[in-house]
A and B are shown apart, each in its own frame.
Chain A
Amino acid sequence: MCLAIPVKVTEITGAVARVEMAGVTREVSVMLLPETQVGDYVLVHAGFAIERIDEQEAAETLRLFSEMETNLEN
C-alpha cells in the first residue's frame, strides 16, 4: 500500500501540491502536511503528502552507515 519513494514538490496552490517523480507529475493534497514548501521531498500515500523527508537526517543516516564501515575496518 505504501509508495516508499519520495517525490519532489514543484508547485503549491492552496491545499494542493504538484509533485514530480521520474518525469511524471500529479496533484496531491497537503491537508495532512500544511507546512509543505516547493522543493521539498515528500512521501505520498493515497493522494496525500504524509511526511516531509528530512534532508539532514537522510545525510546523517548515510553517514552512520559509513561510520560503521570505518569501525569495521578498525
Chain B
Amino acid sequence: MSNDHHRYVADFRNAEVARKIADRLAARKLERTVRLMEVCGTHTVAIWKHGIRQLLPEGITLLSGPGCPVCVTTNADVDLAIALARRPDVTLATFGDMLKVPGSYSSLQQAKAEGAGIRIVYSPLDALRIAQDNPSTSVVFFAVGFETTAPTIAASVLEAERQELDNFYIISVHKLIPPAMKALLDSGEVRIDGFICPGHVSSIIGARAYEFIANDYGIPCVISGFEPLDVLQSIDMLVAQINERRASVEIEYSRAVRREGNKVALELLHRVFEIADADWRGMGILSRSGLKLRPEYSRYDAEQVFDIDSGPTRDHTGCSCGDVLRGAMTPSDCRLFAKTCTPEHPVGPCMVSSEGTCSSWYQYGGGTYGIR
C-alpha cells in the first residue's frame, strides 16, 4: 500500500495505538456513568465493525441516535415515492439503500418488480443524465439524506436549470441533524451526556452549527472521523470535557472538517432550499428540521407538479424502529429483532439499511455476550 494509504487510513487503524488510547480512557476516573450518542449511521457501523464497545471501560455506554437517513424517512414519504413511480409517465431515481425500505403497504423494490419505473443511481447527476437521455419521461429523484447530501441535490437542480431540462424533479425529504439533536434533548426521554457528531455532515455545516448544544444545554460535542482511532479519541475527548465540567464543540476530525464548514456547498444549498418543518420516523414533525425547494425552484418540486394521492399510511405492528432511532430502546429489546425481523426479511428500515442500528446489531452480535 502507498504512503498515502498509511497516512490517511492505516495509521488511523493502528491496534497498538488504539490499545493505548483505550488505556488512557480507562485511567480517567468517572464520577458517574457516561452515556454518549452518535448521530451518524456511518459511525454506528464503524463502532461495531472495529469493536469499539469492547474497548471501553465499564461505565461508558454508547447510544445510536437518528443518524441513518433511510431509517428516519417516514412511511408516508416512501408511499409518495411509490405512488409516483407507479405512474407510467414517471421514472423514479433513488439511492439503492431506499429500495427495500417498507412503506405502508409496499416497497420501491416490490413496486419495481410489479413494473414501476425505478432506477437506482449513485449520484443525483446520474438521475439528471437519465432525464437528458429520456426527454419524454418525467424523471423524479427521491432526495433522501442529511446536510451532506443536500448540497449535491442543490447542485443537480442548478445544473438542470442551466441545461433548461423540463423533465427533472425531486421529492425533497432532506433532514437536518442539529434540530434532531435538540429535539432529543428537549424531550428528556433519554439521558445524553455527550454527542459524537457526524463527520461528513460537519464537513458541510462546520462546528458552529452545534454550538447551541454546548452553550444552551451544556452538552459536550466532538466531531469525529470514522476510523477506530478517531472514534476512540473522540470518546476520550468527550469524557475529558465531562470530567472537567466543560461543554464545547471540539473537532477531532480536523483533517476533513473546518470550523466554518464548506462555504461553497452551504451557499448552493441555501440558494436552492429553504428550511422547513419535517416529519421524522419515531420523532414526528420537528420544527425547522428539513429542507424544501425555494419558491423560485418550485417547478422542480414533484409534490407540486404532480397530483399524487398515496392513500392512508399505516405503521407496522410491533416494529420499534421509532424507539430505536431515539435511543430509547436497543434493538435486542425489540420483540421482533432477530426473530421475525432479520436483514433477509426486514420489518423496519433500521434492519433494512446497512447503516441502520438494528442491522449493525444483528451483523456484529449486539445483544449477545453482554455486548450493548
**Which residues 3-61 in B have Cβ within 8 Å of A in the complex?**
4, 7-9, 11-12, 17, 20-21, 23-24, 27, 40-42, 46
Q: For A41, what are the chain B residues with a Cβ–Cβ distance below 8 Å?
A: 4, 8
**Distance from B337 Cβ to chain A, minimum over Cβ atoms (Å):** 23
Let me know if A33 is at the binding interface, CB within 8 A.
Answer: yes
Q: For A5, what are the chain B residues with a Cβ–Cβ distance below 8 Å?
A: 8-9
Interface string of B70-85 (1 = CB under 8 A from A): 1000000000000000
CA distance in complex: A4, B9 (Å): 9
Q: How many residues of A contact B (CB 8 A)?
A: 34
Interface majority SS (helix, strand, loop, mixed), chain B: helix
**Distance from A70 Cβ to chain B, minimum over Cβ atoms (Å):** 10
Of A43, A51, A66, A72, the most chain B CB neighbours within 10 A belong to A51
CA distance in complex: A46, B19 (Å): 34
Interface majority SS (helix, strand, loop, mixed), chain A: mixed
Q: For B97, what are the chain A residues with a Cβ–Cβ distance below 8 Å?
A: 1
**Distance from A25 Cβ to chain B, minimum over Cβ atoms (Å):** 15
B200 engages A45 (CB within 8 Å): yes
A65 engages B262 (CB within 8 Å): no
- Given contacts A34-B264, A48-B123, whether A60 and B254 have CB atoms under 8 Å apart is yes
B17 engages A50 (CB within 8 Å): no
Let me know if B289 is at the binding interface, CB within 8 A.
Answer: no
**Distance from B352 Cβ to chain A, minimum over Cβ atoms (Å):** 13
A43 engages B21 (CB within 8 Å): no
B203 engages A31 (CB within 8 Å): no
Partner of A54 from the list B123, B204, B256 (CB cut-off 8 Å) is: B256
B226 engages A32 (CB within 8 Å): no
- Comparing B111-119, B144-152, B166-174, B360-368, the segment that makes contact with chain A is B144-152
A61 engages B203 (CB within 8 Å): no
Q: A1-B68, A4-B225, A51-B203 are in contact. List 4 more A-B contacts (CB 8 A).
A: A5-B9, A31-B159, A41-B4, A72-B20
